[in-house]
Amino acid sequence: MQSPVALIPQLAGHIIAAGGKRLRPLLTLASARMCGYQGRRHIGLAASVEFIHTATLLHDDVVDESELRRGLDTANSLWGNQASVLVGDFLFSRAFQLMVADGSMRTLEILSNASAIISEGEVHQLITTNDTDTNEQAYLEVIEGKTAALFAAACQIGAVMAERSADEEQALRSFGTGLGMAFQLVDDVLDYSAKQEALGKTVGDDFREGKITLPVVLAFERADADEKAFWRRCLEEMDQREGDLPHAMQLLQKHDCLNDSLERARAYGRNARTAMDVFPDGEIKQALIDALDFSIERAY
Amino acid sequence: MQSPVALIPQLAGHIIAAGGKRLRPLLTLASARMCGYQGRRHIGLAASVEFIHTATLLHDDVVDESELRRGLDTANSLWGNQASVLVGDFLFSRAFQLMVADGSMRTLEILSNASAIISEGEVHQLITTNDTDTNEQAYLEVIEGKTAALFAAACQIGAVMAERSADEEQALRSFGTGLGMAFQLVDDVLDYSAKQEALGKTVGDDFREGKITLPVVLAFERADADEKAFWRRCLEEMDQREGDLPHAMQLLQKHDCLNDSLERARAYGRNARTAMDVFPDGEIKQALIDALDFSIERAY
């Protein structure tokens, strides 16, 4: 993230220092090692994966007009939307420079495809925002694009670096997809959950932004006429009042929407775990499965 | 620009159909042919260059809060900033997918470097905006990054495709750099010129946005105390009133700033022309030199 233009390392440093789980680069590092890769290329490629993710976070915060991320002021609230858009572009370019330095056309293919699919998913999400008619399939397509595609690519390139078979590449891709889907589903559940509040994070961001996540899709399908009117007022007309978020959380409980969403997450988790059967048991495989389990269990 | 997410081809189609000179892809096509390249790869790579440019235009219009481009509503004014940021990201990814499909690591290197430098230039421009202490060197660095880098890359990859010598690659790079610098200098002059008005384009966009271009850098250096106060009020404090733009244009005339800026453009143009001396005369070389001449002469 170095640059003679000082604002770039400042702004990029802010969002990177803010932390986060670093789950995506971890997947690249662990997948490569599990596949027996012994070199140093996995480090640059893991950084490349994280830069793509960081660029999308910077742009997401502009798109969502977010003021807080991980408890800190967002880059856009500190330096303005303009700087966030442009430094996001810079990190995105840097990610490709890292891939070029790595020198594998196959990896460039996988990650440029993932990048295109991420933006498609983000645009798709933008279209479903404020649309209470969004169904489960549309929601799943959105999160497969915006989240699971990069998880899948992050895992797959581990097998590519180690020159493993197409079957093993596909197995790691499936693991990443299942993990990514489960991860995003749990994220979307936590946004309405008391557990999130206990962790000191804000609750209801998706609600305030009018995002239609699976808990809301299910609640709307199961709603009576009054409840449908409530969801439409809050999420389509964006007319939100005191007490609306607690009421929304109550409706999600009443119709068991959080539990049912978690059940979907668990099902994706089982798919991910099964995909790993082609690899022999070992410490790193176990670490990847532990990351999967953690991604789901953090909801409790 | 195809995608199952309909908003993507809609928005991308809008900005692409709006026209423009298509100068950058033309440079790639012509450079390749001048270097004797006979295949079809130049088409995909020219599209890749234009997609990088289109992505930066979408993001620029968000950053500048522009409402009009080439006489039409901007994408951000029609579909919102969010969609423009994300579709820009999509086109940027597509550019890299096209490069991957092309299969040349060298081209990927040249264009990923150019992309990083473009964003650096854009961030640098953001920092100099509203700063009347910006000097000529800082201005030249900004336009070399935001404009000339892609012109240089667009020309250079023509020589790379044709597998020409490092000298010829560098010659085309120098031609592109000189052309890009001249092109942007002339653009910045036209923004304050009656010629621009005669062409039916808006005048004073840079002034209204507080951008510090070379005409203003020169006018500020040559200003007396009252004039300095005027530039500071308009461009730093952004306190602009009726009659300020005509007064600014008058000051630029008084200090001969437009002519002196054009003189810089002509000097870059001469550098660009000299760089072409390594290539034998011919129809396509002449077309490239005509494009250079046009870029400068359009100021009259």
Does any CB of chain B come closer than 8 Å to the CB of residue A42? no
- The amino acid sitting at A266 is R
Reported ipTM? 0.94
A4 contact B CB<8A? yes
- Helices B23-34 and B166-190, packing angle to 10 deg: 150
A93 is written with which tokens? 């370019």
Contact residues, chain B, for A3 at CB < 8 Å:
120, 123
Per-residue model confidence as pLDDT tens for chain B (300 residues): 899 999 999 999 998 888 788 999 999 999 999 999 999 999 999 999 999 999 999 998 887 777 777 777 888 888 888 899 999 999 999 999 999 999 999 999 999 999 999 999 999 999 999 999 999 999 999 999 999 999 999 999 999 999 999 999 999 999 999 999 999 999 999 999 877 776 667 889 899 999 999 999 999 999 999 999 999 999 999 999 999 999 999 999 999 999 999 999 999 999 999 999 999 999 999 999 999 999 999 877
Structure tokens at A264: 């979907």
Q: What is the helix (H) or strand (E) element at residue B175, kind and residue range?
A: helix B166-190
Residue B205's CB: how many other CB atoms inside 10 A?
15
The residue ranges of every structural domain in chain A are: 7-297
Per residue in B14-41, pLDDT (tens digit) is: 988 887 889 999 999 999 999 999 999 9
Contact yes or no for B142/B214 (Cβ under 8 A): no
A and B: number of Cβ contacts within 8 A: 130
SS3 helix, strand, coil % of chain A, rounded to 5? 75, 0, 25
Length of chain B: 300
Token readout for B259 is 């002519």
Residue B289: name the closest of A256, B279, A22, B136 by CA: B279
A87 touches chain B (CB under 8 A): yes
Interhelix angle B105-128/B136-143, nearest 10 degrees: 140
* Residue among B157, B182, B156, B184 at smallest CA distance from B170: B156
CB-nearest partner of B96 from A56, A96, A118 = A96
Rounded to a whole number, what is the distance in Å from the CA of A109 to chain B's nearest CA? 6
Question: DSSP 3-state assignment of A3?
Answer: coil
For Cα atoms A287, A293, A298, give the angle at the middle one, nearest 5 degrees: 125
The CATH number of the domain covering residues in B7-297: 1.10.600.10
Q: How far is residue A215's CA from residue A203's CA, in Å, rounded to a whole number? A: 14
Give phi and psi for A290, each to the nearest 5: -60, -40
Does B209 contact chain A (CB < 8 Å)?
A: no
Write b or e for each residue in B236-268: b if 16 or more Cβ atoms lie within 10 A of its Cβ, otherwise e: eeeebeeebbeebbebbeebebbebbbebbbeb
Question: Residue A71 phi/psi, 5° resolution?
Answer: 80, 0
Q: Does B92 touch chain A (CB under 8 A)?
A: yes
DSSP B39: S
Q: Do B81 and A81 touch (CB under 8 A)?
A: yes
**pLDDT digits over A24-82, tens only?**
999 999 999 999 999 999 999 999 999 999 999 999 888 777 777 777 788 888 888 88
- Which residue of chain B comes nearest to A101, CA vs CA? B109
